[in-house]
Amino acid sequence: MDASLAPDERVLDIWQLKCWMEQEEETEGVKELYEGKPLHATPPYPINDAINSKICLWSGDISLLKVGALVHCTNEAFSDNLQATQRLYSRAGPELRKNLLDNIKSCNTGEVEVSSGYNLSARYVIHAVPPLHTTRFHTAAQSSLYYCYRRVLESCQERCIASLALPVLSSPHYPYPTEDGAHIALRTLRWFLSNSSGSRTLKRVVLVLDTDHIATYTALLPLYFPRTLRHLQAAVHNLPCDLGNACGEPVNPERQIRIIDNPQHSLPEGGDVGAG
């Protein structure tokens, strides 16, 4: 560790962080969290100590983490000027941005691109482009956000990445609603660690939170990653009725009906039927 660096500028090995299993249970606001009419007959997510030991909550500068991969939340052209992005570019060195602009060039909304970490203490950087959220296109943004989180996790699986630093994926200009976005993030992560073969590779996920998201994630994490009977009871009362499909993907019944009613639903969007 470089003694010339200020304490808040030194590299932190993510394996030094306390995992969710080791963190003390929050007691403030428990009454509000555990009240209400039951929305589920049984807890949707069982207690799983092996999964809980993989999760960490942390607040700080993601570019300082020593980790297999960190996620860089960006835009399609990699052109945002956010402080977090500028810190990441500065610590990674000029080759990272040069690679993005000269070789990768762009990334579609809801997709990810993976690069080397260069001078960072992360081996890889996963560049993710979350959707712009507007009320009018909420359903489309919801689906896009789910796939953004899912593709981050699948990228770890494909590269046998054992540890991941994952921030909240949300556009700073048209931010996704905090609580709804947290449900999507935690639900997708729980599905991946529970059912995907990638769970055998991914051993630690650090949820990197800023001050705007800490309270929400602290309240919702016990519902998706319960540790106690009280957490299970809270999940029955507080998790949404709609938890998506078997993979945690948001389901839009109206869209399903339109697809089923369309005799050409097996064609790619915009496809034409042959004249034969």
Task: List, for residues 208-217, the tens digit of each pLDDT value.
Answer: 999 999 999 9
What residues pair up with 13 in beta bridges, in sequence order?
66
**Cβ atoms within 10 Å, residue 268:** 7
Distance CA 22, CA 81 (A): 36
The answer to whether position 232 is within a domain reads yes
CA dist 121 and 66 (Å) reads 5
Q: What is the CATH number of the domain that holds 136?
A: 3.40.220.10
Domain with 162, as residue range(s), is 11-18+44-258
- Point out which residues pair with 67 in neighbouring strands: 122
Residue 205's DSSP bridge partners are 55, 164
**Six token digits for residue 228:** 């106690």
In a domain, 31, yes or no: no
Q: pLDDT tens across 83-128, in order?
A: 999 999 999 999 999 999 999 999 999 999 999 999 999 999 999 9
Closest of 20, 244, 246 to residue 139, by C-alpha: 244
Determine the longest span between alpha carbons in the chain, in angstroms: 74
Query: 99 in a domain, yes or no?
Result: yes
Residue 148 included in any domain: yes
Q: Six-digit token pair at 125?
A: 């950087």
Residue 32 resides in a domain:
no
Number of domains in the chain: 1
- Which residue, chain included where needed, has tokens 């909240």? 168
Say if CB 124 and CB 115 are below 8 A apart. Answer: yes
What is the structure's pLDDT at 266?
39
Higher-confidence residue of 6 and 150: namely 150
pLDDT-based confidence at 196, cuts 50/70/90? low
Residue 272 in tokens: 């034409």
Q: Across the chain, how many H-helices and E-strands are there?
A: 9, 7
Length of the chain measured in residues: 276
pLDDT at 9: 76
pTM of the model: 0.86
Instruction: Tell whether 27 is covered by a domain.
Output: no
More confident residue, 162 or 255: 162
pLDDT of res. 253:
53
Neighbours of 160 (CB within 10 A): 11
Distance CA 97, CA 119 (A): 12
263 assigned to some structural domain: no
Output the CA–CA distances (angstroms, integers) from residue 137 to 131, 134, 140, in the order listed. Answer: 10, 5, 5
